[in-house]
Amino acid sequence: MPRYLVRLIIIFVLGAVAVLAIRQFMVPASFYQLGHYRASVLPEVAAQEPVYAGHAACEECHGDVLEVKEKGRHTGLSCEVCHGAAATHAADPSSTKPFTELDRSFCLVCHEKNISRPAGFPMVDGLAHNIKEDCRKCHKPHSPSPNKGEEK
């Protein structure tokens, strides 16, 4: 074999070894563990802390409210729809209190008359339906049908 070919082969082999060595060093341990990505990204993303506690956390302490809510038309709603994100309250109930003072404009976020909304959804014309009255005068939020509402 001519000498120049031997040299060339040696250079190629050295190059290949260098590439493999660098690759071994640069690619993270978990990179091909699950696929063409770092598997350790899953625990990294999952480490984020929830802001909404979830309905189950509310049920632990507020069973009395839940009983009223289950009988009313707001039964499917999570508490945090109206009371706001409450993970900090669920972790330490004395630290923060979810807001409870909800005015007419908040009710109308869902219940304002709107032709884009599905037919049959309970809607009112906010400018005509007992204007200036607090909704809670007739509709108890946890069981909102008028006259049938519980005290909560």
Partner 1 sequence: MTHDDTLSRRDILKKTFALGSGVFLCTFAVKAAKGESPDPTPAPKGAGDPTGSYKLPNGYEPSAHYYGYGIDLDKCIGCTRCVDACKTENSVSRTEPNFRTWVERYVIRDDDTLEVCSPKGGLDPYPAIEDPGSVAKSFFVPKMCAHCERSPCEQVCPVGATLKSPDGVVLIDKKYCIGCGYCIQACPYGCRYFDESTRTAGKCTLCYHRITRGLRPACAEICPTGARVFGDLREKDGPLAKFLREHRVQVLKPHMGTRPKLYYHNLDKEVR
Indicate the residue among 12 and 37 with the shorter CB distance to partner 1: 37
Least Cβ distance, residue 71 to partner 1 (angstroms): 17
Closest approach of partner 1 to the CB of residue 138, in Å: 20
Residue closer to partner 1 by CB (options 99, 121) is 121
DSSP secondary structure letter of residue 137 = G
Q: What is the DSSP letter of 143?
A: B
- CA angle, residues 38, 43, 49, in degrees to nearest 5: 140
**What are the distances in angstroms from CA 17 to CA 6, 26, 31, 65, 103?**
17, 14, 20, 69, 71
Residues that bind partner 1 in the complex, under the rule CB under 8 A: 18, 21-22, 25-31, 33-52, 54-55, 76-78, 80-81, 85, 109-110, 114-118, 121
| 7 CB-contact burial (10 Å; exposed 0-12 / middle 13-18 / buried 19+) | exposed
Q: Which is nearer to partner 1, 47 or 128 (CB)?
A: 47
- Interatomic CA distance for residues 53 and 90, integer angstroms: 7
Report, in Å, the least distance between residue 30 CB and partner 1: 4
Report the nearest approach of partner 1 to the CB of residue 54 (Å): 4
Q: Closer CB to partner 1, residue 6 or residue 27?
A: 27
